Structure 1
Amino acid sequence: MLPSLKVLHLADCSLPGISTSLSHFNLTTLDVLDLGGNQLQTLEDPSIYIGNSYLCGPPSARNCSANEINYKDNEGPKDKFEWLWIYFSVVLGYLSGFAVFCGVLLLNNAWRNALFSVIDIICDKLCIVTKVTLARLRQRYRR
């Protein structure tokens, strides 16, 4: 009836018997169930927990401390092929962006001239700073 329900928030709901009627639905895809308070105390039928491997603690019989589940380990790529695909996508994106940047510089003369002017100014400033620093060091060591 609700095959793709992911989140159910009923914490402030005051409908009588809502927690017992939930057992009639097939909620196998439910990720978050927020009933609030002690409403889970009424769900005592153990058959409603079958198939939910991550449910632990009362009212289920599974102990949470003995079966710690690290959800972060379950996220992300699982095998080398998936990692290879991610790396390939990143490199392809970088190369595409770089190709667009170079293409714009090749086709637009004004932008190309502006870029090389900025590069020349930066190089000139670096040369001046280097020469001044070397001159100061020479004077310091001559004394």
Structure 2
Amino acid sequence: MIVVKNYSSAPAPEYGYVWGSPKVSQVLKGRDLEYTKILLLLDNLDLSSNKLVGKIPEELCVLSALRGLNLSHNHLSGNIPINIEELKSLESLDLSNNKLVGAIPQSMANLMSLNKLDLSYNNLSGKIPTGPQLQTLDDPNIYAGNDELCGTPLPKKCFGDDDRRKNAHEDDDDYKESRIERIWFYCVVTLGYAAGLWGVIGSLVFNRIWRDAFFCFTENTMELILVTVEVKIGRLKKSIMKWTN
């Protein structure tokens, strides 16, 4: 059991919060443990079934060494603190049976050590955030009693999920279909090029008359081109000499 006592004014400048110099006593295995100046080293906090009211204080998230937090069976209201991701060491979080409202903050997906979670029986709403660690917590009972929650692992789908899934499936089908068409196109072009090339080369290889005619035509064409070029160059030289004189 943990009891919170004696709050007086004192700053905690390294975090930018004004704490109340709280003294926390914990009875653990028959030993009375007190946390005063080393409150930030507290690793387990159980305030369940204490009739607590109001919002969960954001300053609670400064307890960076906290591994277990149990605020269940109280009358807490408001939103889950958005800076809950600062509890980097948190392994167990129980906020069940309260009056919490609003969406589950996406920052909760950054709690990489979290292996036990209970948010049941509140008034939470919106889509359940996704993340590598949260995906492993796939028990729907974690979110039971929150009628406005949707998304995995609950059977209730969020608005637009089916459309996004359908669009993704259609895009995938279109991509596969387009890829098959491109493959067929390249195959047809390659086969056509090979057939045309072999049709020309094969006829020259196996038909001597065609081969002689082809080389004769090529030779005559080259000579014609060379003669034409030489005539053009000669005329150009004459024009230049006439212009310079």
TM-score interval (norm. to shorter): 0.3 to 0.5
Give TM-score, length-normalised by structure 1. Answer: 0.43
Q: Which has the larger radius of gyration?
A: 2
TM-score by length of 2: 0.26
Which structure carries more relative contact order (alpha carbon 8 Å, separation 6+)? Answer: 1
